[in-house]
Chain A
Amino acid sequence: MTPVATPFFFYLLSGLAVLGGVLVITRRNAVHSALALILTLLAVAGLYLMLYAPFVAGVQIIVYAGGIMVVNIERTVKERQFNRIWPVGLAASGALLVLFVSVLVKGKALFPERGLPLPEADNTQKIGEMLYGNYMFAFEIASLLLLVAILGAVIMTKKKI
């Protein structure tokens, strides 16, 4: 079976992701930006597939493109307004830029010479074993954090602050 992970698909998907990202910030219409963001998220899901991580790709589609974006669009459709958060955005993108540049500069030392053997057929099972075996404690802490966030959201909507 020939691999589908050819460079062509990598450039296509990353091109789509970048195009979507640019459209997100250039479109004046909030709903158009949201749709462009969905394009980016789906392209990133495709990139995960190319990295032989089908489970992460599936979760990306179901959680981000499916769930979060629907909520997001609903909110933009209802309110039709943008908050101006320039400083935060600049700080975040600056930090990301520093990260990328540092990886580019000393990437050789950070990553192994050759790609690791990738378990494609039982990728999901391996993730399950890792989450519920080796990294159980970290996983439980993360889920507790999410639970607190959910409770906080419920309380904030129920109570007039």
Chain B
Amino acid sequence: MLNSLMSYLGSSVTPGEAGNQLWALIYVLIIFTGVSVAVIAMNWLERKALAHFQVRLGPMRVGPHGLLQPIADAVKLLLKEDIIPSEADKFVFWIAPLIGLLASFTVYTVVPFGPSQAVSDMNIGILFMLGVSSLGVLGIVMAGWASNSHYPLIGALRSSAQMVSYEVAMGLAVVSAILMTSLNQTGTGTLSMIGIVQAQQEQHVWFLFKFFPLGAIAFVIFAIAMVAETNRAPFDLAEAESELTAGFHTEYSGLRWSLFMLAEYAAMIAVSSIAVALWLGGWMRPFSHWLSGGAWDFVFSLFPGLTFLGLAAIAIRGTIRMPKHSLFRIQTIGLGAFAAVLSGIGLLLLGIAVGARAGDHVALARSADALNNVYWFVMKIAVFMYMFIWYRATWPRYRFDQLMSVGWKVMLPISLGVLIVTAIVGVIVG
């Protein structure tokens, strides 16, 4: 067992490709934990950011600036009574949240956090991601139907109609990005997620800027369709609270409801990672071609550590500004400890980056490399996650007929046109 653990170290392929089940399991656990923590953080950030958008304070009571609010919420949801309506279809009601959760977590097997930092690299990576994430709608439809109630049923029908419509535009936008991967000597592209990012590496350009503005238009189409796919505002008709109370999960409570929330946020991260891998260069750092060379590599490898130090600085500022009242003592100590942990992580990451630059220690250099890849990928996803919150705070909800006409009469023709023009330009240029 130890042998198989050690034998993978130093290889430059994914554990799936190396056939190493143990490391694949470790990667799965790391990704699962990371996504769950990200969902918790996202929960806090969304409430806080939305509140500030609306000139409110948001959660302030549980922990300093409400930092412990997600944990309190989770405990509340776990302890809440689990209600199944007596007229509901028990089995379908029970299995629906699990299907949604399964669909949104399965796609992480092919998310390329780095050239070897993925569970596996499939020949059909992007197809697999789109297919499995489209199964998530089954969970919603089943939940809406099994509740045996009107609001959930309407919510589920809206959601499925919306997903089927936007998947078409989304797929065409994805195809135009995949076409760009075939612009090399051999003339064959790839569907593998790692292969797509490597194609951008070889062509020295993010597909967002390829054939400007064609890549950018396809990206915008995808960015819109992705919000619709995940049922987020302004496309959240499936759970429009002013019309359908809570839409498809009206009858759900406690743990099952929280599973839906987990699935929704996990799906948001998953589709963002598709957009990052296809158009934003995946794990590549910004300006990797313009500002190339060892010195620039070093400068950019300092970013992970500096990010954590910046977060630590914010926490330290909060600790200093905490009221000097005896009731605030525990909060002050807690925030101070949080700042200490953050700065410790930051210093560790900086140490790895500097150590990789200074000495020629292979393991250190490799881990610094892996760290950079994962860091840039996650940061690009984080931008999308913030955009999701921003959309929700800014735009009013679509009406259902507007939603359908935007999907079919605007997005579909544009994405089809972009696909055709991309193909023509690709033939002429490449």
Binding site for B on A (CB under 8 A): 1-2, 29, 31-32, 35, 38, 54-55, 57-59, 61-62, 65-67, 69-71, 73-74, 77-78, 120-125, 128
Whole-angstrom CA separation of A32 from B145 in the bound complex: 11
A31 and B92 form a contact (CB under 8 A): yes
Shortest Cβ distance from A31 into B: residue: B145
B160 and A70 form a contact (CB under 8 A): yes
CB distance from A14 to the nearest CB of B (A): 21
B153 lies within 8 A of chain A by Cβ:
yes
With a CB–CB cut-off of 8 A, which chain A residues contact B330? none
With a CB–CB cut-off of 8 A, which chain B residues contact A35? 92, 142
Convert B121-162 into 0s and 1s, putting 1 for each residue whose CB lies closer than 8 angstroms to a CB of A.
011100110111011011001100100000001001100110
Q: In the complex, which of the residues A2, A59, A65 contacts B127, with contact meaning CB atoms closer than 8 Å?
A: A59
CB distance from B144 to the nearest CB of A (A): 8
Convert B184-228 into 0s and 1s, putting 1 for each residue whose CB lies closer than 8 angstroms to a CB of A.
000011110000000000000000000000000000000000000
B19 lies within 8 A of chain A by Cβ:
yes
With a CB–CB cut-off of 8 A, which chain A residues contact B190? 125
CB distance from B152 to the nearest CB of A (A): 11
Q: In the complex, which of the residues A57, A74, A123, A124 contacts B157, with contact meaning CB atoms closer than 8 Å?
A: A74
Q: A59-B127, A62-B131 are in contact. Are A54 and B167 (CB under 8 A)?
A: no
* Extra pairs beyond A29-B89, A55-B191 (20, CB < 8 Å): A1-B17, A2-B19, A32-B92, A54-B123, A54-B124, A55-B127, A58-B124, A61-B132, A65-B131, A66-B135, A67-B134, A70-B134, A70-B137, A70-B164, A71-B160, A78-B157, A122-B123, A124-B124, A124-B191, A125-B188
Whole-angstrom CA separation of A1 from B13 in the bound complex: 13
B132 and A70 form a contact (CB under 8 A): no
B123 and A124 form a contact (CB under 8 A): yes
B141 and A73 form a contact (CB under 8 A): yes
Q: In the complex, which of the residues B122, B130, B135 contacts A54, with contact meaning CB atoms closer than 8 Å?
A: B122
Q: A54-B122, A58-B124, A123-B123 are in contact. Are A69 and B138 (CB under 8 A)?
A: yes
Shortest Cβ distance from A121 into B: residue: B123
B163 lies within 8 A of chain A by Cβ:
yes
A74 and B191 form a contact (CB under 8 A): no
Q: A1-B19, A67-B164 are in contact. Are A61 and B131 (CB under 8 A)?
A: yes
CB distance from B192 to the nearest CB of A (A): 9
Q: A35-B142, A38-B138, A128-B188 are in contact. Are A71 and B123 (CB under 8 A)?
A: no
CB distance from B185 to the nearest CB of A (A): 14
Whole-angstrom CA separation of A10 from B87 in the bound complex: 39
Shortest Cβ distance from A55 into B: residue: B124
Closest 3 pairs (CB-CB, A-B): A66-B134, A62-B131, A58-B127
> What are some 10 contacts across the A-B interface (CB < 8 A)?
A1-B19, A29-B89, A54-B122, A55-B127, A55-B191, A58-B128, A70-B138, A73-B145, A122-B188, A123-B123
Q: How large is the interface on B (under 10, 10 to 19, 20 to 34, 35 or more residues)?
A: 20 to 34
CB distance from A158 to the nearest CB of B (A): 13
Shortest Cβ distance from A62 into B: residue: B131
Shortest Cβ distance from B122 into A: residue: A54
Q: In the complex, which of the residues A2, A31, A62, A78 contacts B134, with contact meaning CB atoms closer than 8 Å?
A: A62
Q: A38-B138, A55-B124, A61-B132 are in contact. Are A77 and B163 (CB under 8 A)?
A: no
With a CB–CB cut-off of 8 A, which chain B residues contact A55? 123-124, 127, 191
CB distance from B401 to the nearest CB of A (A): 15
Whole-angstrom CA separation of A29 from B128 in the bound complex: 30
Q: A35-B92, A120-B123, A125-B188 are in contact. Are A74 and B141 (CB under 8 A)?
A: yes
With a CB–CB cut-off of 8 A, which chain B residues contact A38? 138
Shortest Cβ distance from B186 into A: residue: A125
Whole-angstrom CA separation of A1 from B121 in the bound complex: 14
Shortest Cβ distance from B146 into A: residue: A31
Whole-angstrom CA separation of A35 from B141 in the bound complex: 11
Whole-angstrom CA separation of A124 from B191 in the bound complex: 8
CB distance from A149 to the nearest CB of B (A): 16
CB distance from B178 to the nearest CB of A (A): 10
Shortest Cβ distance from B95 into A: residue: A35
Whole-angstrom CA separation of A35 from B123 in the bound complex: 28
CB distance from A139 to the nearest CB of B (A): 16
B160 and A74 form a contact (CB under 8 A): yes
Q: Name which of B17, B124, B191 has the most chain A CB atoms within 10 A of its CB.
A: B124
With a CB–CB cut-off of 8 A, which chain A residues contact B135? 61, 65-66
Whole-angstrom CA separation of A57 from B142 in the bound complex: 24
With a CB–CB cut-off of 8 A, which chain B residues contact A78? 157
Q: Name which of B92, B122, B131, B138 has the most chain A CB atoms within 10 A of its CB.
A: B131
